[in-house]
Structure 1
Amino acid sequence: MKRLVYFISCLAFLVLWSSCRKDFEFEPSTGNLEFSRDTVYLDTVFTNIGSSTYNLKVYNRSDNDINIPTLGLERGEDSEYRLNVDGMPGRTFQNVELLANDSLFIFIETTIDINNLPSTDGEFLYTDKIIFDSGANMQDVDLVTLVKDAVFIYPDRDNATGIIETLTLNVGGEQIETDIQGRYLMPDEFTFTNERPYVIYGYAAVPNGETLTIEAGARVHFHADSGILVSEDASIHVNGLFSNDPEALENEVIFEGDRLEPIFSDVPGQWGTIWLFEGSVNNIFNYATIKNSGVGILSDGNPDAATDKLTITNSQIYNSSNFGILGRNTSILAKNVVINNSGQSSFAGTLGGKYNFTHCTIANYWRNSFRQFPVLLLNNFTETSDATIIADLTEANFNNCIIYGNDNPEFILDEINDNTNPVLFEFKFSNCLLRFSDPNNNFDGENYNFNNTELYEGNRFNDDPHFMEPYENQLIIGENSGAIEIGNPSFVSGTTQFDILMETRPTSPNPDAGAYQHTDF
């Protein structure tokens, strides 16, 4: 019995001893590592703004546990890149162990001050390498980042308290303090050029009586919860131009977030809004693209302005987490405008107002979440904690437009009547392609009497617009579109003689509805 116990004890010891020795026997790397990629592109970043975190996977395909004697950045501690190797931060590492047929993650980030780099002329391609081992066993993976210089506009911060400057608005001669973080633009900031992109933190406010001019080709980027505020008696003029030369500089003006990595290119809600404050005047957008905001343009008040508060032409608004354009008792003139992918409505005219849309494509193919509202919402009221406020909808005309989406119905006319103080609710849809189906008769009343030619004339309902790729914001219409030749030539004049791509709009036969003439794609 004692011999049996002794034998078992010795056997157990041998097993444990051999397994322990194997666990700690790491052979030197032989230069046969494999990588998930041979170059890591950290895409484009603005100077002094941190990149996203990128990863590289390193594989040991052999049956032996190995030790990588050295692993690190070629530029060493002077590199603008930062590494994290299996949870350990740094720029250089020694004796990194990797088990047989296993892998490890390397995470890579960068924050680069372009002022510390050689002469850049506005941008600089910064590179480095991750070096594995040395001598004959050395392997490497390239790191590449494009760094862009920019004009930064941001509010002051009190160094002692950390409190960020907020806006005080002059409304009707009265100073009103707000909790909106931001500051007023200075006189040398009243013109945005195309020389360098602009990056805005907080709200950049246009002072009373001044005009912010944004020149063709300018790029304006916003940090989270940021935007532009146009105050009382102030204006914004966005002067984009069209260019059909694919090799020419893009001359439209683009408003978007400040994350330039491709994964952020179509993410809604990255920044706030362009807010046309009540009392602002003569705001003009031409050839602008506004994308990835909370609300593309918020226009407040002045429904009876002699010149429409907002005139927007040849422009596109995409990926708004709430509304593409939200009007609140305001006046808007829109021609050749495309709006798509909005978390609520692509266009909402609320609390009455005055709206005229001609040759516009107002679509909504939102699929990020449940959508409560249709593509187009019109109402004449707003609810407060104390009361329901009602105002006149003096006019809302939609001429030669497409109003369509992935829900049904795609427009709602939400009117409240005040018998003691009657208000106007005037609207008309003319020669439009509309999506509206109501099999359960949930919508009744004269507002939905499609036979009333004072409200609806020359429209087509529920016929596929045949958009190219509506979920990708490509809303050109094809040869099978229900919008072909349903437009009224009388609405073709001035800006609308051409579509948004500067294709001539025919008047005989009839033009297509929407912002685009159809094409074969």
Structure 2
Amino acid sequence: MYRYLLLLLVLTISLTSCRNDFEFESNVGNLAFSKDTVYLDTVFTNTSSSTYTLKVYNKSDKNISIPTIKLANETTSKYRLMVDGMAGQIFENVELLAKDSLFIFISVTAQVADTNPSDFLYTDQILFGEETHPNHQKVELVTLIQDAYFIYPGRIQNPDETYTYDELNLGIDEDGNPIRIRGRFLEETNPINGDELHWNNTKPYVIYGYAAVPSNKTLIVDAGARIHFHSESGLIVANNASIHVNGSNSTTATLENEVIFEGDRLEPNFSETPGQWGTIWLTQGSTNNQFSNLTIKNATVGILVSGNDGTSTPTLVMENTQIYNCSNVGILARTGNIEGRNVVINNCGQASFAGTFGGSYDFTHCTFANYWPTSNQTCVVLSNENLSETSETALTKASFKNCLLYGSNNFSLSLIKVGSVFNYNFNHCLIKFIDFSNQFSNNPLYNFSNSSLFEDCLIAVNQISNTPDFKDARNNELIIGENSAAKGMGNYTYSTFNDILNNSRTNPSDIGAYNFIVFD
């Protein structure tokens, strides 16, 4: 039996070896493509794009060989291709089976000087067959190249061909070792960028590593400035240094006067992706920091406040400030001293605002939402617990007036008291606190009937009552509608300034950063 099977196998091999299944004929003009034009999203000058995909189909019943696949500008092109796993710009005799397809991967690194000066578009074509062939086909490639100021640490090449980069000294760790981070101080007379302590709106800024404001200096950010941070990058404001973000109200959908801090990935798929860069770090002793009409997006921690300047004046004053999509915390303050008006925070992995190690905080007409898609995030955390010290750190003040605290979790407020000095007050606020199991019913910190702690507040004790009626909270549209429980429930005494959209507040005023509107 075994001999018969072996004979059958030999016969089958001999017959199939005579077949010519993989004979290819040269063919031009009968291909189909997934796209007629590949638009590579905006990139900064001299910065590599993401990789984009073009799919090429052979819909015929014959195996074909494409004589050439190449870029029209050939080796001078700034585009890069990968065809069948091979990188290059010109490919010959590319085989494609009947009814099969192949992927072409495309990327680009170009300069503004390479673009059309009227629209800053850099273009090329992928040609299938020579242009002289009457049936040749092509796919267009289009990329917008944007000029920018680049701020990055210097580097020195070592003998082993590695690099040593400029670093900032952040102090000493518990073991007495220096804490260093890749970055450098901003310069008033940088040979390339000019005055790096004055960020204007003529073109974007792209930060690699951490840019630091030197002691006794102030970083001025003009209205309309766009600041982009690379992965593991951010901004540090040193001891006795300051930052003034001078955004103003915008009149168009382009937010022409808003200052925006975000990552450097410009593709639409990254526009709302959390954790793309580090933080804006106001270190211990930084002073007179001012944020106006500022949006911070997609950071790890939006603003990290380490201590205060030791005076009774707020170390940070914020107005019309929005913080979205932080993988950890929107504002993380440790013994901070902050005053905020029209602050809006949403979609943060742990908390929208965390006032830890005590401190002093005063917020009016702010919206602290949190619709991060997990079950353990919250909106506001207040704590005087200091895990690294034996003594308590006083929470001298935590005042919330006409503020809205609401998210996808049942508890929008977390209070952690250690020791005696823990001063907080919520006045005319809407607070979500659904305690189904009554685990906090005997906790005096959450005694919502105590008017010295919670004065004329609305408490959402279930999913139906006292809802804010946000327009689209998961997509950071936190304006409230006409059915909002916050409508007309604010204390007009505190409504001495316009809402975050620069609309006048009426009497009675609405809770939160926005006046209500009638949704379409």
Measured after TM superposition, the shift of residue 306 of structure 1 is 3.0
What is the aligned partner in structure 2 of residue 167 from structure 1?
168
Distance 1:164 1:13, change over 3 A: closer
Verify the 8 A CA contact 1:170 1:232 in the aligned structure 2. Answer: no
Give the AA of the match of 2:432.
Answer: R
2:213 is equivalent to residue 206 of structure 1: yes
What is the aligned partner in structure 2 of residue 375 from structure 1?
379
Query: In structure 1, what is the Cα distance between the partners aligned to 2:317 and 2:378?
Result: 23
What is the aligned partner in structure 1 of residue 197 from structure 2?
190
Q: Following TM superposition, where does structure 1 have runs of at least 4 consecutive aligned residues deviating by more than 4 angstroms?
A: 7-14, 118-121
Query: In structure 1, what is the Cα distance between the partners aligned to 2:13 and 2:307?
Result: 86
SS state at 1:513 partner: coil
What is the aligned partner in structure 1 of residue 103 from structure 2?
105
Measured after TM superposition, the shift of residue 514 of structure 1 is 0.7
What is the aligned partner in structure 2 of residue 320 from structure 1?
326
What is the aligned partner in structure 1 of residue 126 from structure 2?
130
Verify the 8 A CA contact 1:352 1:380 in the aligned structure 2. Answer: yes
What is the aligned partner in structure 1 of residue 495 from structure 2?
492
2:442 is equivalent to residue 441 of structure 1: no
Query: In structure 2, what is the Cα distance between the partners aligned to 1:260 and 1:39?
Result: 19
Matches within 5 A, 1:327-476: 327-367=333-373, 370=374, 372-384=376-388, 387-417=389-419, 423-443=420-440, 444-462=442-460, 463-476=466-479
Query: In structure 2, what is the Cα distance between the partners aligned to 1:10 and 1:207?
Result: 81
Query: In structure 1, what is the Cα distance between the partners aligned to 2:482 and 2:517?
Result: 6
Give the AA of the match of 1:456.
Answer: F
Query: In structure 1, what is the Cα distance between the partners aligned to 2:225 and 2:383?
Result: 35
Match of residue 251, structure 1, among 257, 275, 297: 257
Measured after TM superposition, the shift of residue 520 of structure 1 is 1.3
The one-character-per-residue Cα deviations of 1:105-160 (angstroms, maximum 9, x if unpaired) are 00001111334x26848x72100111111312211111111111111111111212
SS state at 1:447 partner: helix
Measured after TM superposition, the shift of residue 60 of structure 1 is 0.9
Distance 1:8 1:253, change over 3 A: closer
Query: In structure 2, what is the Cα distance between the partners aligned to 1:461 and 1:242?
Result: 32
Verify the 8 A CA contact 2:170 2:180 in the aligned structure 1. Answer: no
Measured after TM superposition, the shift of residue 10 of structure 1 is 11
Verify the 8 A CA contact 2:28 2:128 in the aligned structure 1. Answer: no
Match of residue 247, structure 2, among 240, 250, 266: 240
What is the aligned partner in structure 2 of residue 478 from structure 1?
481
Query: In structure 1, what is the Cα distance between the partners aligned to 2:321 and 2:35?
Result: 39
What is the aligned partner in structure 1 of residue 181 from structure 2?
180
2:266 is equivalent to residue 260 of structure 1: yes
| Length-normalised TM-score, structure 1 | 0.91
Query: In structure 1, what is the Cα distance between the partners aligned to 2:9 and 2:364?
Result: 92
What is the aligned partner in structure 2 of residue 295 from structure 1?
301
Give the AA of the match of 2:127.
Answer: I
The one-character-per-residue Cα deviations of 1:355-403 (angstroms, maximum 9, x if unpaired) are 0111111000011xx454421100001213xx44421111101111110
The one-character-per-residue Cα deviations of 1:65-115 (angstroms, maximum 9, x if unpaired) are 111111111111111000001211110111111111111000001111334
Query: In structure 2, what is the Cα distance between the partners aligned to 1:437 and 1:8?
Result: 75
What is the aligned partner in structure 2 of residue 229 from structure 1?
236
Measured after TM superposition, the shift of residue 304 of structure 1 is 5.1
Distance 1:238 1:371, change over 3 A: farther
Query: In structure 1, what is the Cα distance between the partners aligned to 2:122 and 2:409?
Result: 47
Give the AA of the match of 2:30.
Answer: N
SS state at 2:333 partner: strand
Query: In structure 2, what is the Cα distance between the partners aligned to 1:293 and 1:236?
Result: 18
Verify the 8 A CA contact 1:170 1:208 in the aligned structure 2. Answer: no
Query: In structure 1, what is the Cα distance between the partners aligned to 2:199 and 2:278?
Result: 19
| Length-normalised TM-score, structure 2 | 0.91
Verify the 8 A CA contact 1:46 1:149 in the aligned structure 2. Answer: yes
Verify the 8 A CA contact 1:380 1:392 in the aligned structure 2. Answer: yes
Query: In structure 2, what is the Cα distance between the partners aligned to 1:100 and 1:87?
Result: 20
Query: In structure 2, what is the Cα distance between the partners aligned to 1:170 and 1:207?
Result: 15
Aligned residues: 495
SS state at 1:505 partner: coil
Verify the 8 A CA contact 1:339 1:364 in the aligned structure 2. Answer: yes
What is the aligned partner in structure 2 of residue 46 from structure 1?
44
What is the aligned partner in structure 2 of residue 520 from structure 1?
518
2:509 is equivalent to residue 504 of structure 1: no
The one-character-per-residue Cα deviations of 1:476-516 (angstroms, maximum 9, x if unpaired) are 111111111110001111xxx21111111102xx1111111
Give the AA of the match of 2:514.
Answer: Y
RMSD of equivalent CA atoms: 2.3
Distance 1:277 1:120, change over 3 A: farther
Extract unaligned runs of 5+ from structure 2: 189-194, 461-465
Match of residue 92, structure 1, among 73, 90, 93: 90
Q: Once structures 1 and 2 are overlaid, which stretch shifts more, 152-161 or 212-221?
A: 152-161
Give the AA of the match of 2:258.
Answer: E
Distance 1:118 1:68, change over 3 A: closer
Verify the 8 A CA contact 2:327 2:349 in the aligned structure 1. Answer: yes
SS state at 1:464 partner: coil
Measured after TM superposition, the shift of residue 300 of structure 1 is 1.4
Query: In structure 1, what is the Cα distance between the partners aligned to 2:487 and 2:126?
Result: 57
Distance 1:9 1:147, change over 3 A: closer
Measured after TM superposition, the shift of residue 288 of structure 1 is 0.5
Measured after TM superposition, the shift of residue 51 of structure 1 is 0.7
Query: In structure 1, what is the Cα distance between the partners aligned to 2:13 and 2:282?
Result: 80
The one-character-per-residue Cα deviations of 1:188-239 (angstroms, maximum 9, x if unpaired) are 2110000111011111110101000000000111111111100111100000
What is the aligned partner in structure 2 of residue 420 from structure 1?
none
Distance 1:13 1:472, change over 3 A: closer
Query: In structure 1, what is the Cα distance between the partners aligned to 2:13 and 2:348?
Result: 69
Query: In structure 2, what is the Cα distance between the partners aligned to 1:263 and 1:291?
Result: 14
Measured after TM superposition, the shift of residue 170 of structure 1 is 8.8
Verify the 8 A CA contact 1:169 1:231 in the aligned structure 2. Answer: no
What is the aligned partner in structure 2 of residue 72 from structure 1?
70
Verify the 8 A CA contact 2:54 2:104 in the aligned structure 1. Answer: yes
SS state at 2:156 partner: coil
Extract unaligned runs of 5+ from structure 1: 418-422
Query: In structure 1, what is the Cα distance between the partners aligned to 2:515 and 2:13?
Result: 84
SS state at 1:189 partner: coil
Verify the 8 A CA contact 1:305 1:331 in the aligned structure 2. Answer: no
The one-character-per-residue Cα deviations of 1:408-429 (angstroms, maximum 9, x if unpaired) are 1110111012xxxxx4111011
